[in-house]
C-alpha cells in the first residue's frame, strides 16, 4: 500500500493506546455490537496496536481466533508486545486489498477507523468477500464526517455512512441499519 496523507502512521501509535480513547470509543460497546461468540474467527484489518483485536480475542475464546492484519510491521510489533502468552491472536502483515489470509477463513471482517484510508475500497470489499465464510459479515467502523475533530482525521478525509452503504450495495452486500458508536464513529454491518 502506498503511504499517503490519509494513512495513520506508526509514529503516532501512542494515540491508539491513550486511555482517553475509551471515553469516546468504548471498546466493550463495539465488541458487544459485533455479536462475537466463542469459536468465531475474525479478521481485524488495520489492527494497529490491538485496541479491538485483544478484546475480540477474549470474546471468541475458547476455540476462536483473531487474525490481526496490518500493513505496517511496526504496528504489529507493538501489538505483539501487548499480547498475553497464548492469546488467540495471529499477526499478519498484509493490506486490505491483499490480506494474505486464506479463502473462506473468517466469520467477520472488521475494519476500525481505516476505511477512509483506502485508495481502492472496491478491491477491499472483494478481498473481504474472498476471506469470509458463507454467511460471514463485514463490519466497518469509521469516523463520522458530521462531528468536528480532534480526535480523528481531518473532516475532508472522512467518508459518510451513505457512501459506505452505496459501496456495499454495489458489491452485493445486504446492510443492517447503521449505528452511531461512541462520540465520533458509526458502525455498518453487512452480509
Q: What is the pLDDT of residues 144-174, one digit of tens each?
A: 999 876 787 888 889 999 999 999 999 999 9
pLDDT at 2: 43
| Mean pLDDT over the full length of the chain | 90
pLDDT at residue 11, rounded to an integer: 52
Query: Which tens digits make up the pLDDT trace of 52-90?
Result: 999 999 999 999 999 999 999 998 999 999 999 999 999
Distance of CA 117 to the CA centre of its chain: 12
What is the pLDDT confidence band of residue 15, given thresholds at 50, 70 and 90?
Answer: very low
Residue ranges of domains in the chain? 10-190
pLDDT at 176: 92
Cell numbers for 162 = 451513505
Question: What is the percentage of the chain residues whose pLDDT exceeds 90?
Answer: 77
Pairwise pLDDT comparison (160 vs 2), residue with the higher score: 160
The domain defined by 10-190 folds into: Rossmann fold (3.40.50)
Kindly report the pTM of this predicted structure. 0.89
In sequence order, the 6+-apart residues with CB closer than 8 A to the CB of 18 are none
Query: Quick one: average pLDDT of 91-105?
Result: 97
DSSP H helix total and E strand total for the chain: 6, 7
User: Over the range 167-181, which residues count as b (16 or more CB within 10 Å of their CB) and which as e?
Assistant: bbeebebebeebeeb
Helix (H) or strand (E) holding 74: helix 73-82
User: Residue range 137-149: average pLDDT?
Assistant: 91
Amino acid at each position: 500500500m502506498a503511504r499517503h496523507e490519509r494513512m495513520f502512521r506508526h509514529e503516532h501509535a501512542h494515540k491508539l493506546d491513550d486511555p482517553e480513547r475509551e471515553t469516546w470509543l468504548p471498546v466493550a460497546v463495539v465488541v458487544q455490537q459485533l455479536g462475537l461468540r466463542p469459536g468465531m474467527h475474525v479478521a481485524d484489518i488495520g489492527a494497529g496496536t490491538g485496541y479491538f483485536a485483544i478484546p475480540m480475542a477474549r470474546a471468541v475464546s475458547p476455540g476462536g481466533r483473531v487474525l490481526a492484519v496490518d500493513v505496517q510491521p511496526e504496528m504489529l510489533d507493538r501489538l505483539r508486545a501487548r499480547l498475553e502468552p497464548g492469546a488467540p491472536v495471529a499477526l499478519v502483515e498484509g493490506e486490505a486489498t491483499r490480506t494474505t489470509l486464506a479463502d473462506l477463513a473468517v466469520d467477520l471482517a472488521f475494519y476500525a477507523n481505516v476505511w477512509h484510508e483506502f485508495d481502492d475500497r472496491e478491491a477491499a470489499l472483494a478481498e473481504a468477500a474472498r476471506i469470509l465464510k458463507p454467511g460471514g459479515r463485514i463490519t466497518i467502523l469509521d469516523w463520522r464526517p458530521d462531528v468536528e475533530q480532534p480526535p480523528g482525521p481531518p473532516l475532508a478525509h472522512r467518508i459518510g455512512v451513505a457512501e459506505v452503504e452505496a459501496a456495499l450495495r454495489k458489491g452485493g452486500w445486504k446492510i443492517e441499519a447503521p449505528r452511531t458508536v461512541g462520540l465520533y464513529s458509526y458502525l455498518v454491518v453487512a452480509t
